[in-house]
Amino acid sequence: MPVAGLRSLEGKFDIITGGSRGIGAAIAQNLASKGCSLLLNYISTFSTERTLQLCEELTTISASPPQQSSKFSREPEITSPILPPTVTIDILINNAGIGGNIRLNDPVRGHINADFFQRIYTVNVLAPLLLTQVVAPYLPLDRSGRIVNLSSVSSSLGLESQSIYGGTKAAIEAMTRTWARELRDCATVNAINPGPCC
């Protein structure tokens, strides 16, 4: 059988946050084409229509209700609607994130304030931390699990106006290295750093 015809992820189960558009949707389409069953999680009701469209196009996909990542304070708020007690989660893609460019003492947007900081750090750092913590017990026991965190070139380039966003992505990379050690018996943990994309 040609390699292109293999469904190499048949029987695997994956959770993708922010999976209804952009990079997340492209990942979902690729994994579904390889036979992976997916659960797409999204944080905005504006993503509902696109997510349902993906569900129709790719029959191995199911969609979770919108999760308001900016309001996460306890683990059950993330996963209680989506994790059956006996499921094995083979792959977790921590893709969801929000941006926001503002300079120190920005002449147009004003000062960076605590609310702005908290909103972006909650979605980009706290939400993947809590979700990964909840998913960890569901990972396979043979080190075949995969966790992929979406970082950004902003984590290391020192781009102007990205004190907050770049900081969140640097935090993701630090957590990735920690989780790679803590979860080494169950999964590999890696981060990828895409540049600007449409």
State the catalytic residues.
151-152, 165, 169
Q: How many Cβ atoms are within 10 Å of 157's Cβ, its own excluded? A: 12
Task: Let me know: does 10 contact 37? Beta carbons within 8 Å.
Answer: no
Half-sphere exposure of 119 (CA within 13 A, CB side): 9
Smallest CA-to-CA distance from 98 within 37, 11, 162, 3 is with 162
* Spacing of C-alpha 197 from chain mean position: 17
